[in-house]
Every structure is written in C-alpha cells, then in structure tokens.
Amino acid sequence: MTDRVAIVTGGSGGIGRAVSERLAADGISVLVTFSGGSQRADDVVTAITDAGGRAVAARADVAEPAEVNALLDVAEAEFGGVDVVVNTAGIMRLSPLAQLSLDDLDAMYRVNVRGTFVVSQAAVQRLRSGGALINFSSSVVKLALPTYSAYVAGKAAVDGITRILAQEVRGRDITVNAVAPGPTATPLFLDGKPTEVVEHLAAQAPLERLGEPKDIAEAVSFLAGPARWVNGQVVYVNGGIV
C-alpha cells in the first residue's frame, strides 16, 4: 500500500471501474463515485477490498460544485487527503448535427464539459503536492466521424481546459493531463451500434481490435503515479488509430 489517495468520478462502470481497480492494485486508496444507483459502485468497492485494497463509494453529480467538494471531504476524512483525481464520468449521444436534440446537447455539455470544469476546479484547490488530475477526452476529436459533432465539441473543450490548467498550477508539483481513448468495448461505446459498425471501428487500429477498459486504466495508472514529467498533454490511447 502507498499513502496516495484517488477519487475516480464515474468509477462504478466501464472504464471507470477498470481505473478504480487498477489504481487500487497499485496500492492507492480509492473513492469510487457514482451518480445513479449505488449497487455497481458497491460491487467495485467489494472487488477492491476482497483483493486487499482500500476503497469506499460516494454519490455526486459532477456538475454541482457542492457535491464535488463533498467528495473531497469524504476522501480526506476516510483516507487523509487527495493525491489523484480521475474524471471518467461522461455521456455520449450521437446524431447528425442537423437532427441533434438540444436537450441531448445540453445533457452532454452538463456532464462532459461543466462536470470536467467543476471537478477540475475543486481538484486543483485541494490536491496535495505531487498530485495528478487526469481528465477524459476522446480520440474522436481528431477523427471527424459523422454523428459525433456535439460529443467532439465537448471533448475538444476538455482538451483546452486540460492544457491551460496545467499552466495555471505552475509551481505546485501537480500534473494535469487528459486520456483520449479510442474505440473501447464498454456499454457507452457499444450501445446502439450495429455489429458491422463495431467490426469496422475495431479494424481501424493496426492492432485490429477494440480497446479494453484495462488498456485505458493502464495509461491512467502511469499518469497517476510515475509520470511526473508528462504534463499538459492529451494522451491518445487508441491502439494506433490516426
């Protein structure tokens, strides 16, 4: 075990669960956060503690500053401080721009942009020296795929927030980076996609497969711990898709 403590937003499913379990396996105490039902988060905590790690779960709406600051309060009360914040919480709703519901646009911006901003704002005020903030972008920002315009606009905003915030915490020994996954086999990615579309996307990478949540968690583990000279970057974790 280390004395490092991590908060993982959206830590109860998909990539978030893999990140939570990987950081715990690295010896980091983990606060697993969720926004809906608690059962999946409880399952993650059980898996971590059964494996000898330390974890608790807490609910929060990442777009609400009071709720996000309460998460940091929980982490400090349970584990003594906060060293790593990983912002995996996000939603994706796809449509051609001309047909996109503005309600869907607003929902994505509330979680993906405002949520990233609120969590980042709280994190950099309370992370300990040697800390790491890791946001989540997406490889589709540079791929220009039809139906992704609103989602990409939000993730491009995350890229900008990340790069600028890394400059704004100058002198505090805090790194700020983003991970940009490629097509990854999670419910968020697979939901509603025909088999032929999934197969086409899987073939895009030179490795000719979809990413797995553990692939993304491996990159997060690097940025959360040993990568002290990687800062202000958007790290593409996509198997080589260009």
> If you average pLDDT over residues 176-202, what whole number do you get?
86
| Percent of the chain with pLDDT strictly greater than 90 | 87
Reported as a pLDDT band with limits 50, 70 and 90, residue 185 is: confident
Render pLDDT for 12-33 as a digit per residue (tens, 0 to 9): 989 999 999 999 999 999 999 9
Please state, rounded to an integer, the average pLDDT across all residues of the chain.
95
What residues are annotated to the active site? 151
Say which residue, 199 or 79, is predicted with more confidence: 79
Q: CA 193 to CA 140: how far, in whole Å?
A: 16
Polymer length in residues for the chain: 242
What element of type H or E holds 43? helix 39-50
């399952």: which residue's tokens? Answer: 43
Q: What is the pTM of this model?
A: 0.94
CB 13 within 8 A of CB 40: yes
pLDDT at 83: 98
Q: Which residues pair with 59 in a beta bridge?
A: 34
Render pLDDT for 94-148 as a digit per residue (tens, 0 to 9): 999 999 999 999 999 999 999 999 999 999 999 999 999 999 999 999 988 899 9
Render pLDDT for 31-43 as a digit per residue (tens, 0 to 9): 999 998 899 999 9
Reported as a pLDDT band with limits 50, 70 and 90, residue 1 is: low
What backbone phi and psi angles, to 5 degrees, belong to 3?
-100, 10
Q: CA 216 to CA 113: how far, in whole Å?
A: 20
The CA-based angle 54-113-229, given to 5 degrees, is 60
DSSP per position, 72-124: HHHHHHHHS---EEEE---------GGG--HHHHHHHIIIIIIHHHHHHHHHH
Distances from the Cα of 26 to the Cα of 3, 30, 64, 76, 78, angstroms: 11, 10, 30, 19, 18
Q: Which domains does the chain have, with CATH numbers?
A: 5-186+213-236 (3.40.50.720)
Render pLDDT for 161-182 as a digit per residue (tens, 0 to 9): 999 999 999 999 999 999 999 9
Say which residue, 186 or 108, is predicted with more confidence: 108
